[in-house]
Amino acid sequence: MDQIAREFDPSIYSYKLIRDGWEKINTVTTGKYDCKTYFHKKLDKELILCKIFYAGINHPPGKGCYFERHEMIDAKNEKKWEFPDWEWADYDNGHLLWAEYGKIMRGDADENGLKDVKEILDTNPLTFEAIKAPY
């Protein structure tokens, strides 16, 4: 198990991220059975969206053994914004997209941080409905 955890690479997910324009920066072992992998996606010349993918047995309450954290870095002005409540994030067609608190959000970014934030979908009112197959 030690060898597996130290060399863990969420391969399928990594390949998907790389295919979608993310750059894999590195993987760091953070414990006997834990590691985190850093991915970056450039938003423009200075802004970078960072995805930190965690894998392991030591995770915060409410998170599973695999989860993500997100940050945005302004390399020119040496600023960093952390988004601990984002469950997922990406950059597509010139907009940031992310999920937090059961909602899908869209916004833009500049040297001052997020702007023009809009809610795309609120899944909170949705409830599970068992549907017997065949559909």
* pTM (whole model) above 0.85: no
Whole-number percent of the chain with pLDDT over 70: 92
Contact between residue 48 and residue 23 where contact means Cβ atoms under 8 Å apart: no
- Average pLDDT on 88-102 reads 96
Distances in Å between the alpha carbon of 116 and those of 27, 65, 70, 110, 135? 33, 33, 19, 11, 40
- Average pLDDT on 29-39 reads 87
pLDDT surpassing 80 at residue 3: no
For 70-83, how does the pLDDT look when each residue is reduced to its tens digit (9 = 90+)? Answer: 999 998 889 999 99
Phi and psi angles of residue 103, each rounded to the nearest 5 degrees, phi first:
-125, 145
- Average pLDDT on 127-132 reads 92
